[in-house]
Each structure stands twice: as structure tokens, then as C-alpha cells.
Structure 1
Amino acid sequence: MPFIEPAAPRRRRPGAVLALLAFAQLIISIDYNIVYVALPEIGSGLDFSAQSLQWVISAYAVAFGGFLLLGGRACDLFGPRRMFTVGLVLYAVSSLLGGLAESAAVLVAARALQGVGGAFLFPATLTLVSTGFAEGRERNRAFAVWGTAGGSGMILGSLLGGVLTDAFGWESVFFVNVPLAAVAALLAVPLIAPDAPRGGGRSMDVAGALTSTAGVTAVVFALVQGPESGWLSPVVLAAALAGAVLLAVFVAVERRSADPLLPLRLFADRDLSVGTAVTFAYMGTFGTLLYFLTVYFQGVHGYDPLATGLAFLVPMAAIAAGSQTAGRLATRYGIRPVLAVSLAVGGAGAAIVGATMATDASYAALIPGLLVLGVGQGAGYTLMFGAASLGVSAEDQGIASGVVSTGQQVGGAVGLALLVAVANAGLDGRGGEALRAATNDGLRTAMLIAAAGIAATALAALGLRRHGAGQAAEAEAPSGARPAVQV
């Protein structure tokens, strides 16, 4: 049953709560990338095969994407603070299991459990930001802080992964999450207001939960396994077909359900529909660039894990600057134009980086493009989730967050699969310097295609409704007019 608005919600320390929510988002973002630079040591330490090593990454992505709708609706039915805590506990337990793993199977299972934890934690965090801060200046500021943590955390994960792996071994990239998640879970109790008493006659849509989770999981599995096994391989085709059938059944179930997991009426909301499409495209373009830059630094220029992490400090600073600037500009000019311009700036940055990629290019030559790219990337990340949540009622914020987050995960899988295929197209049969040159050419082509995709995403963002600068005034509404979940 959903949480209901209390008669006189108690206002808690908003600064401390926002810091906690940003910290939780930082944990999610760090964990998304921290294992990348540790993969070679993980593979040799646990005897992964070349084919199975990808599942250290893929198990997390498949579980995360598959359980997001369930995690989002659980926020609406049981309350976001409960799901916030559940997600963090799952993160802590699974990270401990991962660090202690002595076999490949145990580590892959731990990564899948981390993905489930993320699928509960991410919608809960997004819901608490969307409903806990008044629409307008206050919420824009909150999303700026939250977005800074998310955007910077993905790069910080690469840096932290390099430092920890070099100093303490691959196990440390899992153990580091245990105290972080445990502390965040403990702080949730005093800082976040309790979920309101559950009321109404609503219950979990079991049929919808099963079909959506299985369907999305199968689709994400097909997307992440396709580049490895081949798009026409039996396992990939079977997964894709099963996913399509299950999602069709899910839609049929939702049309007939009196209390659906995903009310289809939500897709009539233009901001949610366009915002989900923008998020999908953002992750299919921006979301892949960290991978390609990592390959460029290590495969073309021979950086070690620590040097690779340090190379990301420049874009991390630019992402933080873009995130903070975006919130202020959105309050003044409205989310739609600022989001579109941010994406256009990021697309220009990606084009500049792609144009300067070369086997003999210095790191300094990349800095101008990385700065422009980072500013646009950080600003876009901050605004796209807030844009999608505008106008969604408090009782549906959890599932709306789940929808947008699912678009994020599937978009990232689709974009990475397609662009990796482009980047690797000319590598067969090459070695030595020829391989290095071909790798650079493939990465540059992928980067330029991503830049074109980002430009198209900027145009798509113009489909959002106008919400103008008048939102700033709404931030000054009296406390009685604030959303149901007070923080």
C-alpha cells in the first residue's frame, strides 16, 4: 500500500538529508565503474575465462536494469526511506560477499545482488529528491548537488579503482563499499523522515512485477551478451524473444489490473515520456564515453590503472562545474532550454575530443574537449531526471523514477553494444603498431557518432513542456504546500 501524506509533516534538516542522498548516489555511481580497472586482476585471481570475465560487469547491469520497475513501485507502496535502507543493506552485504569471493561464480552472484540493491536504492534516492524539495529553485538546487555526485562518482570510481587495485588488490574495490553503504543506511534513520503510515487498498501487482522483471532482465541480458556471443546466436535470440513476449504480457496485465505496477496513464505525461527518451539517449551516448576514453588511455597510450584514473580528474572537475551551474540556470530560465543547450555543449565537446584523438596526441591536447564535454555532461545529468519528474504526483514518483532509471540502464546497454561494434570493426587480424592505430581510429569514429547522437538528444529535449523561470517562485511556497515526503 502507498505511503500517504501526514497531516503536518515535520521538516528535517534539508542540508544534511541532501548530503546523505548525494552520498548514496555517489556510492551507486562509484560502484558502476570501480571494477573496470580491476578486471585484469579479478580475471587472473579467480580464473575467469576471457569470455566469462565480462559478467563481472554484465551481472550488475542485468540485475540493475531488470529490477528497477519493481524497486520503483516498492518505493510508492512501502515508502522511499524503507527502500533506501533496503538498497544500502543489499549493497553492503553483496560487496562483502564480492570481496570474500573465492570463485568466479560467487563473485558474479555478488555482482548481481549489488545490481538488485541498486535497483531499489536508485529510485528511492531519486524519489526522495523529487518529493522532498519544493519544485523550482529548491528542487533545482537539490538536483544540482545530487547530479554532481552522480556524474563525478562515475569518474571517481575509475580513479578509486586504480588506486585501490594498485595498493590493496582487486578485493578492495568491493570491500570499500561495505562501510560506505553501512554508514549511509545508519544515517537514514535519524536524517530522513519516517515513511508515512500506509493507507488505501493498494497492494503489489505480483503478475506485473514478475513479467516486467523477467522481461526487462531478458532484454538487458540480450543487449549485453550480444556483442560477445553474436547478435544471431541462439542464446541472444532466445533472450530477446523471451523478453519481448514477457513485456507484451506485462502490458496486457497492466491494462487489466485494478492496481497496476506501472500505470500506463503515466505515459500520457509528456515530460515523463520525453524525459525517459532523453535519459535513454543520454546513456547511449554520454554514458559510453567513459569506456571509450578508458580504452583510449590504456590501449592507445599505455596508461596504467592509476594514470588512467588521474586522467579523469579534468572531466570530473568539469562535470561538477556543469552540474552546479545547471541548477542555477534552470531556476532562472527553465529546465527545457537549459537542458537542450547543455546537451548541445556536451555534443560539441565530444566532437572536439574525437577530433583530437591520435596515437601521438598528448593529454594536454585533449583538455579543451574534455572540459567542454564535462560541463555539458554534468549539466545534462543533473537536469534530465528532474525534467522527467515534473508534474508526476507524489504517489507515483517511485514508479516514475523506476521508468526513467530503466530507460537509463537499457539506453546504456544499447549504446555501448552498438558503439563497441563500431569501434572494434577494424581490429581483426591486426597487431602491434597497426593494432594501436586501428584502435585509435575505431575509438575516434565511435566518439564522433556519439557526438551526433548527443546533438539529436538535444533536439529531443525540446519536446519537454515549457516550465519557465516562474518555477523559482514556487520554491517559496509555504510549508503546507510542500510535497508529501518531507526531508
Structure 2
Amino acid sequence: MSTNAKSTQLKSLGAVLALLAFAQMIIAIDYNIVFVSLPEIGSGLGFSEYNLQWVVSAYAVAFGGFLMLGGRATDLFGRKRMFIVGMALYAISSLVGGLATEPWILVVARAVQGLGGAFLAPATLSLVMALFKEGAERNQALSIWGAAGGSGMVLGSILGGVLTDAFGWPAVFFVNVLLAGAGVIAAWVLIPADPPSARGKIDLPGAVTGTAGVTLLVFALVEAPARGWTSSFVLTTAAVAVLLLGVFIAVEARSSAPMLPLRLFRNRNLSTGTLITFSFMATFGALAYFLTRYWQGVLGYSAWTTGLAFVLPSASVLIGTVLGGKLSTKFGVRSTLVGALAVGAAGTAVLALVAGPTSSYLAIAPALVVLSVAQGVVFTTMFVAATTGVEAADQGIGSGIATTGQQIGGAVGLAVLIAIATSVNSGGDGNTVMHETTVAYWAIAIGIAVTVLVTLNFRQRPPAEPVNGADAAGSLDTVETASEGVQPR
């Protein structure tokens, strides 16, 4: 290949990576942007206090429930096609959400946004895996992709407050119409065409039972804190979910073209990586909830001030995502994960010690920076680890499995931590909230420390062994052949 051709290819890959990072930023923005707007949404559309949670929960249930289907559709029908479908669903549902005049319309729109995320997330991640060689090149690409997610967290917190104050709550949805619409156009132009072979047939029995089972499981986990873990509704829903998932596994074991090939779980890195993504969201992912309770319920911050308070930890996560790729390339994925998790556990423990009813923001800032940088490093590196060794034809479903673990972990972790925190005592005064958040910080620190032990199950290839012609220092040891990438046009 000539020097000019190589330069053109690199520029093309750079433009595609920028688009994939942009998509990850949209997903992060969409998750965070509604939180500050919830009180105005509730009063504007007449939500009850209980039903208002479904502005958030409808998104989480649909996202988590349809991720495996979205991942397999990416493998069968093409990464570019599913990327565009996901972006288009974001744009359309955001428009409907901004125009909503009834609570149920907004809840449905949020569910469709979650569906869009379930197609967009695995398509985006599998494109990164397919286009960039395993090792240093892929680690760097994932750092940029993860950094975009970190910046989306910052933008989501700030935009939610600014847009709501200036234009009202519909603006937090209308801004996504513009962003996602631009993403559809850019994807049509920049993303390499799907190969002709990227077509197939969905395993309908597996798709129905698997999607229904996961959706009901996430639904039960979301409802459990409000209805009670032992309520007949939650127990019945969970039992039906487990039954459907059992049927799903039986169907997949006998299918000639399964939606979820069970052989993937023989890849120790994918199985372990999914546990890591689950644990990451169950621990690090829950910190934002308890920080919000601490700042508003104990220190008396307003919603706008709370949004500003999140800028420092969110920016630190952004720095960590950039460092994650560099560290995993230099020291190896497993070593980087173990180190980052240990630092994150220590930072969270320090936060539990220094956060008090009279603590200033500056007093807790060092702990926030340390644990947030560690969080960013783990976020990037856990996806490098989880998808290593997954064949190119299965990258979509592999990404979907890892991301499903992430979504379910968020629901389970928050519910369990709330139950632990509120079990220590009752009441709602500042001292009680302070005690509950302290208990939650310690529980999170312990959970992160336990995750270190899970991480030791990863396999790691010796640094001297090459992968795809690249430095293998950041790779694991299950891949024997190069992943088949999509070539830019």
C-alpha cells in the first residue's frame, strides 16, 4: 500500500472513530440529562411521585432487555445498518418525548430511546473491535471511545440544568434530535459498508424467550425497591423471568443458528469480563446516586449546584478513560484492572472516612478525583478484556453480552445498596441520610475490592507474543487468529 493510501485510510479510520465516540457520548448524555429535569417533568406532565421513576426506569428496562437481540442483529444484519437504526430510534423517540403531553407518551418515548441504545451500543463497540487491531491500536481507540462517554456524563449533568432553566424540560429531549440526526447522516457517509455476508436470520424462539426473560428480570429488579423484595408481584415476575431464561438456554443449546451461541461462554475472558461489567455498575455505577443524596440531602446543594459538583468527578473519569488504554498497553489488561480496582476501592474508603455533615467540597475532592480516575481506567479496560478472543462474526453479540452485564449490574447494585443503606436505621433527617450514605460508600468499597479477585480469572498473554502484528502488551491470551476487520472504503 502506498504512503498516500495509508494516510487516507488512517484519516478515514480517524473520522469513523470520531463518529463512534460521538455515539457513545450521546448514550451517556441521554442517560444523565433527564435527572436534573425530573421535578419539572413531574409537575409539567402530572406524574405521580411513584410513576416519575419510570422516566428513568423505562429507558433502563428496554436498554437492558434488548441488548442481546441488538448485539445479534448487529452480527447478522451488519454493524452499519444497526448503528443507523439505533441512531434513528434515538432521534425519533427524542422528538416524541419533547412533544409529549401525557405521562404515558413520555414513558413510551423513553422506552424506545432504550431500544435505540440496545441496538446502538453493541454496534458501536463491535465497530471499534472490528476496525482496530487488537493490542495498542485497539486500546487507544477504546480510550477515545470511553473518554467520549466520560465527556457525555459531564455534558449531560450540565446540559440538563442549563436547558431546563432556559427553555423548559422538553429541551433536554429536543437536543438529542439534533445530535442523533447528525449521527445518522454522518454514519451513512463515514462508516464502511457492511459486507454482503452480513445478512442472516434471527433465531425467533431464542429472540423472544431471551429478550422477554432479560426484560422481565430487569423490570423486577427496578420495581423491587419500591414494591418490596418479597412482594408477590416482584417474586412472580422474577420467577417468570428465570423460567423464560431457562427455556432460552434450552432453545439455544438445540438451535442450529442460535441468537446467543453458548460456545461463547467457553471464552473465559468474555465470561469473566461480563462479571466485571456487572460488578463495575453495581459499585462504581451506584456512586452517583449516593453522592447526589449526600450533596442534596446532607449538605443542602440545589439541583444546579449538584450538577456542577459532578463536573470534577466526571472530568476525572474522562482522564481515567484516556489513561486506561495507555496503561493496558504498557502493563497488560489484567494488571491494569487489578491496579485500578485497588485504587478505586481505596479512594472510596477514603471518601467514606472524610465525607461528613460539615465537610466542604474541597475536603472530599481528592478522594473523588482518585476513585473517579480509577473508574475511568476500569471502564475502558474491562471492555478490552471482555471482547478479547471473540471472533469477528460474534463481536456484536459479544459486545451485547458484556453490555447486558453492565445494565443488569446497575439495576441490581443500586437496589441492593439502597436496601443495605436503609436497613441501618429509619427516618429521613440529615443525620440519617449521612449515616446511610456512609454505609453505602463502605459497601461499594468492599464490592470493588471483591471485584479484584474476580479479575484474577482473566487470562493474559505474555507481553512478548505478538497479536495482529501489533504490540500485545495490552492483550489477553485467547485469540489465536486475527479478528477480521471491516475495511474502510
Aligned-residue sequence identity (percent) comes to 55
- Secondary structure of 2:51's partner? coil
- C-alpha distance after superposition, 1:239-265 (max 9, x if no partner): 101100100000000010000000000
Q: Which of the residues 429, 443, 448 maps onto 1:449?
A: 443
| Structure 1 residue runs of 4 or more that deviate by more than 6 Å after TM superposition | none
Per the TM alignment, residue 159 of structure 1 is displaced from its structure 2 partner at its CA by: 2.2
Q: Is the 8 A contact 2:68 2:400 kept in 1?
A: yes
Residue 286 (structure 1) aligns with: 284
- Separation in 2, partners of 1:339, 1:170: 39
Instruction: Give the CA deviation at 1:458.
Output: 1.8
- Out of 318, 333, 337, the position equivalent to 1:320 is 318
User: 1:91-131: CA deviations, max 9, x gaps?
Assistant: 01111111111111001000000000000000000100111
Once the 2 structures are TM-superposed, how far is the Cα of residue 438 of structure 1 from its aligned partner?
Answer: 0.6
Instruction: Give the equivalent residue in structure 2 for 1:62.
Output: 61
Please point out which of 384, 397, 400 is paired with 1:399: 397
The answer as to 2:175 corresponding to 1:176 is yes
- Indicate conservation of the 8 Å contact 2:41/2:169, yes or no: yes
Residues 330 and 469, structure 1, Cα contact 8 Å, conserved in 2: no
1:18 corresponds to 2:17: yes
Q: Hey, what does 1:4 align to over in structure 2?
A: none
For 1:471 and 1:424, locate their aligned partners in 2 and report how far apart those are by CA, in whole Å. 50
1:463 matches 2:457: yes
**CA 1:369–1:130: 2 relative to 1, 3 Å:** same
Query: Residue by residue, what CA displacement relative to the aligned partner does 1:321-345 show, whole Å, maximum 9, x if unpaired?
Result: 2111121111112111011111111
Residue in structure 2 matched with residue 272 of structure 1 by the alignment:
270
Counterpart residue type for residue 293 of structure 1: L
Deviations 1:270-303 (A, max 9, x none): 0000000011001100011111111211121121
Q: With structure 2 as the length reference, what TM-score do the two structures score?
A: 0.93
CA distance in 2, matches of 1:472, 1:344: 29
Q: Is contact 1:25–1:125 with CA below 8 Å preserved after alignment?
A: yes
- Contact in 1 for aligned 2:269/2:388 (Cα 8 Å): yes
Cα displacement (A) at 1:427: 6.2
One-letter code of the match for 1:159?
I
Assess if the C-alpha contact under 8 Å between 1:214 and 1:246 holds in 2. Answer: yes
Question: Aligned runs of 1:39-58 on 2, under 5 Å?
Answer: 39-58=38-57
Deviation at 1:426, TM superposition (A): 5.2
* Separation in 1, partners of 2:302, 2:462: 47
Distance 2:181 2:310 in 1: 28
Q: Distance in 2 between matches of 1:320 and 1:199?
A: 34
Conserved? CA contact 2:78–2:198, under 8 Å:
no
Q: Please say if residues 162 and 308 of structure 1, whose CA atoms lie closer than 8 Å, have aligned partners that are also in contact.
A: no
The normalised TM-score by structure 1 is 0.94
Cα distance in structure 2, aligned partners of 1:288 and 1:127: 26
Counterpart AA for 2:39: P
Partner of 2:87: 88
- Distance in 1, matches of 2:321 and 2:56, equals 27
Instruction: Return the alpha-carbon distance in structure 2 between the equivalents of residues 483 and 102 of structure 1.
Output: 48
> Which range moves more in the overlay, 27-36 or 116-125?
27-36
Quick check: 1:376 aligned with 2:374? Answer: yes
Question: Which residue of the other structure, out of 331, 334, 354, is the alignment partner of 1:333?
Answer: 331
2:6 aligned partner = none
User: 1:362 is matched by which residue type in structure 2?
Assistant: S
- Give the match's secondary structure for 2:258: coil
Match of 2:249 in 1: 251
Equivalent residue pairs, number:
472
1:444 Cα deviation after fit: 1.1
Kindly indicate whether residue 133 of structure 2 is the aligned counterpart of residue 134 of structure 1: yes
Of residues 385, 391, 401, the one that matches 1:387 is: 385
Identify the range of structure 1 (280-289 vs 12-21) with the bigger mean alpha-carbon deviation.
12-21
- The answer to whether the Cα contact below 8 Å between 1:12 and 1:191 also exists between their aligned partners in 2 is no
Contact 2:130/2:392 (8 A) holds in 1: yes
Q: Which residue pairs with 1:194 in the alignment?
A: 193
Q: Distance in 2 between matches of 1:470 and 1:368?
A: 37
Counterpart amino acid of 2:351?
A: V
CA change 1:155–1:284 in 2 (3 A) is farther
Alpha-carbon separation, structure 2, partners of 1:134 and 1:108: 40
1:129–1:206 distance in 2 versus 1, CA, 3 Å: same
1: CA distance, partners of 2:42 / 2:364: 31
Instruction: Report the CA distance shift for 1:370/1:185 in structure 2 as closer, same or farther (over 3 A).
Output: same
Aligned partners of 1:333, 1:486: CA distance in 2, in Å? Answer: 29
Distance in 2 of aligned mates of 1:252 and 1:158 = 43
Separation in 2 of the partners of 1:100 and 1:473? Answer: 51
Paired with 2:132 and 2:231, the residues of 1 have a C-alpha distance of: 48
C-alpha offsets along residues 25-80 of structure 1, whole Å, 9 cap, x if unaligned? 01001111211111111111111111111111110010001100000000000011
Superposed CA offset, 1:2-27 (max 9, x none): xxxxxxxx776111111111110010
Give, in angstroms, the shift of residue 378 of structure 1: 0.3
* Distance of 1:19 and 1:280 partners within structure 2: 27
Any idea what SS the aligned residue of 1:452 has?
helix
In the superposition, relative to structure 1, how do residues 281 and 471 fare at CA in structure 2: closer, same or farther (>3 Å)?
farther
Instruction: Please give the alpha-carbon distance, in whole angstroms, between the structure 1 residues aligned to 2:83 and 2:221.
Output: 28
Q: How far, CA to CA, are the matches of 2:469 and 2:176 in structure 1?
A: 35
**Alpha-carbon spacing, 1:482–1:456, altered in 2? closer, same or farther (3 Å):** closer
More deviation, 305-314/122-131: 305-314
- Cross-structure match for 1:227: 225
Moved more, 462-471 or 397-406: 462-471
Counterpart amino acid of 2:221?
Answer: L
Could you tell me how far 1:212 is from its partner in structure 2?
A: 0.6
State the 1:155 CA deviation.
Answer: 3.9
> What is the CA distance between 1:368 and its match in structure 2?
0.5
Q: Does the 8 Å CA contact 2:426/2:432 hold for their aligned counterparts?
A: no
Change beyond 3 A, Cα 1:257–1:155 = same
The residue identity in structure 1 corresponding to 2:487 is: Q
Query: What letter is aligned with 1:461?
Result: T
Is the Cα–Cα contact under 8 Å of residues 206 and 259 in structure 2 kept in the other structure?
Answer: yes
Cα distance, 1:473 vs structure 2:
6.3
